[in-house]
Amino acid sequence: MSALVITTPASSAIAILRARAVESESSVYGARRAYAQGINGLSDIAWYRDGVTLPKAIAEEKSEYYKALKAIGYSNPSNAWKMVKQYAFEAAKAEGLFGEVTETKGETEGETEGETREARSLTLRMVEELTKLHKASMKTRDNKPEEYTDKIRAAHGHVISALKSMGVDIGI
C-alpha cells in the first residue's frame, strides 16, 4: 500500500524553495572546490594542515575571503574556510601535490594480492623518479668521477632542467 501524497499550493511553494536551496548548495559546493584547488597554486607547502603557518599569499587570500563573506552577512566565515581547507587537501591528494597521495585498492603496477599501494599522480611520479636520477648522478659524479661520462653529464643536465620545469628547487 503506497502513501497518498497531496500537493497543496503551500507544499509546491516549499518544493520550489527546496529546489532553489539545493541548486545554490550545488553551486557553492562546486565553487568552493574550484577555489580551494586554485589556492593550492599559491603555495608550495601543504598549507591546509592544522598548525601550519600560512604562506603570505594564502594568509592575504584568507583575509579577503573573510571580508567578502562578512560583506554578504555570512555568519560563520571560519566554517567556510574550514571547508575550503578540506577541499584543498582533497584536491592536493587527487593531484599528488605537496607529497599527498591517494591510497587505492585494486590492480596497480607490481601489486600483490591483499596489498594496497599508493596511486601516484603523473606529476608526483615524475618528480620522484627524476629526483632519484639526479641523486644517483650527483653521487656518481662525487664518488666515481670516471663513470660520470660526457653522455651522463649531458643527460644529468636534462634531468636538472626537467626537475626545474616541474617546480623543484634542487639548490643549484
Look at residue 147 and tell me if it is in a domain.
yes
| Spatial distance between the Cα atoms of 168 and 131, rounded to a whole number of angstroms | 9
Can you count the helices (H) and strands (E) in the chain? 5, 2
100 and 128 part of one domain: no
Look at residue 58 and tell me if it is in a domain.
yes
| Spatial distance between the Cα atoms of 150 and 156, rounded to a whole number of angstroms | 10
pLDDT at 108 over 80: no
Look at residue 22 and tell me if it is in a domain.
yes
Look at residue 110 and tell me if it is in a domain.
no
Give the residue numbers spanning the domain of 44.
10-104
Give residues with Cβ within 8 angstroms of 170, minimum separation 6. Answer: 134, 160, 163, 164
Mean of all residue pLDDT scores within the chain: 81
Confidence grade of residue 111 (pLDDT, cut at 50, 70, 90) = very low
Instruction: Provide, rounded to the nearest whole percent, the portion of the chain with pLDDT above 70.
Output: 81
Q: What total number of domains does the chain contain?
A: 2
Answer with the residue of higher pLDDT: 131 or 44: 44
61 and 95 part of one domain: yes
Q: Could you report the per-residue pLDDT of 134-157, keeping only the tens digit for each?
A: 888 888 898 888 999 999 999 999
Instruction: Record the cell numbers describing residue 99, joined without a space.
Output: 607529497
99 and 137 part of one domain: no
Instruction: Record the cell numbers describing residue 27, joined without a space.
Output: 553551486
Mean pLDDT for the stretch of residues 106-119: 47
73 and 127 part of one domain: no
pLDDT at 65 over 90: yes
pLDDT number for residue 115:
44
pLDDT at 56 over 70: yes
Which of 72, 104, 136 is at the close of a domain? 104
At 91, the amino acid letter reads A
| Spatial distance between the Cα atoms of 102 and 96, rounded to a whole number of angstroms | 8
pLDDT at 50 over 70: yes
127 and 97 part of one domain: no
